[in-house]
Amino acid sequence: MKKINLFVTAISILFVIVSCSKESTTPTTSSAGCATGAESMSYKVDGVLQTMDTMYYGGANPCRIVGISKGVEVFKIYVFSTLTKGTSKTFYFAGPRSTADSALGSLQSVGLIESGALDITISSDDKLCGSFSGPLKVTSNGSIKQITEGKLVNIDSKY
């Protein structure tokens, strides 16, 4: 009888511990490798949030990533590499030069992205996700703009 009571007590304690455990704060990822969530593209220019209404990516080498706001292509990046499903890679902005595994980017009415890095993942279901891993430097009419907090989430391929 004591063994049964001890067993029931142990199971009860284990149940209480499991029931009280905290939820994980780790971002949920799809089996494809990108975080789950709605398609979106956003970034800040000198601290001011910019969001895109429509976004897509496509093409071989270079691959083109486009963000559209109010019907105008505002954000364009060309990645000089072949992006393969199920892989992740970091690309460095090389200013006006385009070399293998580099990126060339521009923001309408702001200028050409001169420095910084872009981390990209192409999921196994052909979605693009990624982020700017550091501030991007853009010179516009002699002044330097900082592009930060770039997020690319579950962007569909157009091609």
Whether residue 45 lies inside any domain: the answer is yes
Residue 13 in 3-state DSSP? Answer: helix
| Mean pLDDT of the region 73-94 | 86
Residue 60 in 3-state DSSP? Answer: coil
What is the number of domains present in the chain?
Answer: 1
Whether residue 13 lies inside any domain: the answer is no
Whether residue 20 lies inside any domain: the answer is no
Domain extent for 49: 30-155
Whether residue 148 lies inside any domain: the answer is yes
Residue 125 confidence (pLDDT): 85
Whether residue 119 lies inside any domain: the answer is yes
pTM: 0.71
Whether residue 150 lies inside any domain: the answer is yes
Please name the helix (run of DSSP H) or strand (run of DSSP E) that holds residue 41, with its range, or none: strand 40-45
| Whether pLDDT at 66 is above 90 | yes
Whether residue 12 lies inside any domain: the answer is no
| Mean pLDDT of the region 58-67 | 88
H, E, C per residue of 100-156: CCEEEEEECCCEEEEECEEEEEECCCCCEEEEECCCEEEEECCEEEEEEEEEEEEEC
| Mean pLDDT of the region 99-112 | 77
Whether residue 24 lies inside any domain: the answer is no
Calpha distance 143→113 (Å, rounded): 13
> Mean pLDDT of all residues in the chain?
75
If phi > 0 it is left, if psi is from -120 to 50 it is alpha, else beta; for residue 17 that is alpha
| Whether pLDDT at 32 is above 60 | no
